[in-house]
Each structure stands twice: as structure tokens, then as C-alpha cells.
A and B are shown apart, each in its own frame.
Chain A
Amino acid sequence: GENVEQHPSTLSVQEGDSAVIKCTYSDSASNYFPWYKQELGKRPQLIIDIRSNVGEKKDQRIAVTLNKTAKHFSLHITETQPEDSAVYFCAARTWNNDMRFGAGTRLTVKP
């Protein structure tokens, strides 16, 4: 089955700097890659996603890139703000529609 690995597990940056979180997946048939943000005690919130026919997608300060050949995708957050502090999860959807999540990255943005 699909296996998603996420790195790093924790990331601390200074406000205004960029943050990059990387994920790899194992199933070449996976075709949809969302990113979720989860604040403490709250539900995971979809922040951006990318489909397998696209290499890059951007939404304001957030961008995601996908390399299908290498089977990895990354989340880029520019001009980080303290409110970006949260746990971020990547995921890959397999051919049978179940979604496999990474273990998460705890991002801390220091003011």
C-alpha cells in the first residue's frame, strides 16, 4: 500500500523567513496530494492541494510543488507569521480513494 514520509518532524523559523516541508510517497498511481494545517485541539484544515497533472500551485504565501518522477512533493510558506505556527500534514490519495497521511511537521514561527 501507499506509504507517505514527511520531513522534518519539527521546524522552527524566524518570522518573515520561509519554511519548507517535504514529503515522499511510494505508490506511483497516487494522483492527489493535499496539505492540511492542524492547530492544537482543532480539526485538520485543507490549505492547498495539487493534482498529479500539475507541477506547481501557488496561493498567496503558500505554494506546493510536485515531482512525479521522484515521487516527492513539498510545501513552501514564504514570509512566515506567528499564526502559521501549527502542525502541517501532507497526504497522498491512492487508486482506491483512501488517503494516507504523513506523520506531521510541527512548525513554530518565532516573532
Chain B
Amino acid sequence: DTGVSQDPRHKITKRGQNVTFRCDPISEHNRLYWYRQTLGQGPEFLTYFQNEAQLEKSRLLSDRFSAERPKGSFSTLEIQRTEQGDSAMYLCASAGGFYEQYFGPGTRLTVT
């Protein structure tokens, strides 16, 4: 499968725990995006990387959230001290150019 992949697909955690998600973009795509989607809503932009540089961060991204793309390939999104309001689908998308973004299957996070 040469599409965007994400791991894990589902994560259940207790409030206060830290979680980390991984995204592997389409090979050679230099742009990578993280979004959050809650039920009945469209994806909300969180952050954007061009190669290894994090170029934009949404104001939605509190200081409990951090994202990295150390070698310009895969990316990780970490949430520290999870809260119930963090429960959502976390989507990753990659783009080879300036326009089309292709989404991964997402990681569904449930905070109990």
C-alpha cells in the first residue's frame, strides 16, 4: 500500500496519560499535515510540516500537543496529560506539491 498510513488505528487511554501517534506519508511527499476530526464535523487543521520544518501551528494546538518530523519522512504527534476533550479522530495528510492533500485512515483516540 503506497498511501498514507497511520499507527495505531485506535487508542484508548486514561485521562492524564501521554499518547503518541505516528504518520507515514506517501513516499517523497515533502508536506505533511495533522488534523483533528470530531463526530459530525470537518477536519480541523492542527499543524503543517514542509520536510522537517514545522511551518504552521493552529491556535487549537495547546502546549500539551507536540509534533515532530525529524528526518522529513514520518511524523509523530504526542499529546501529554490527555483530557476527555482530546477524544477525536486524528488524521494525517501528505502532499507532494502545493495543492492536493491525501489523507491517512486516522487514529481514533478515546480518553476515559
Contacts and interface: CB of A to CB of B under 8 A. Distances in A.
A34 B91 CA distance: 17
Given A32-B99, A49-B99, A51-B99, A99 B105 contact: no
Contact of A97 (B42, B43, B55, B100): B55
17 contacts: A32-B99, A34-B99, A36-B103, A43-B103, A43-B105, A45-B103, A49-B99, A89-B43, A91-B42, A97-B56, A98-B58, A99-B33, A100-B45, A101-B44, A103-B40, A103-B41, A104-B40
Interface of B: 33, 35, 40-45, 48, 55-56, 58, 91, 98-106
Interface of A: 4, 6, 32, 34, 36, 42-46, 49, 51, 89, 91, 93, 96-104
Contacts of A91: 42
B42 A103 contact: yes
Nearest to A36: B103
Contacts of B44: 101
A6 B105 CA distance: 24
Which applies to chain A's interface (DSSP): helix, strand, loop or mixed?
strand
A97 B40 contact: no
Secondary structure at the B interface, as helix, strand, loop or mixed, is loop
A101 to B, nearest CB: 3
A104 B100 contact: no
Q: In this complex, which of B43, B100, B105, B106 has the most chain A Cβ atoms within 10 angstroms of its Cβ? A: B43
B48 A89 contact: no
Q: Which 3 A-B pairs have the closest CB atoms?
A: A101-B42, A98-B45, A43-B103
A98 to B, nearest CB: 4
Contacts of A101: 42-44
B106 A43 contact: yes
B56 A96 contact: yes
Contacts of A99: 33, 35, 43, 45, 101
Nearest to A4: B42
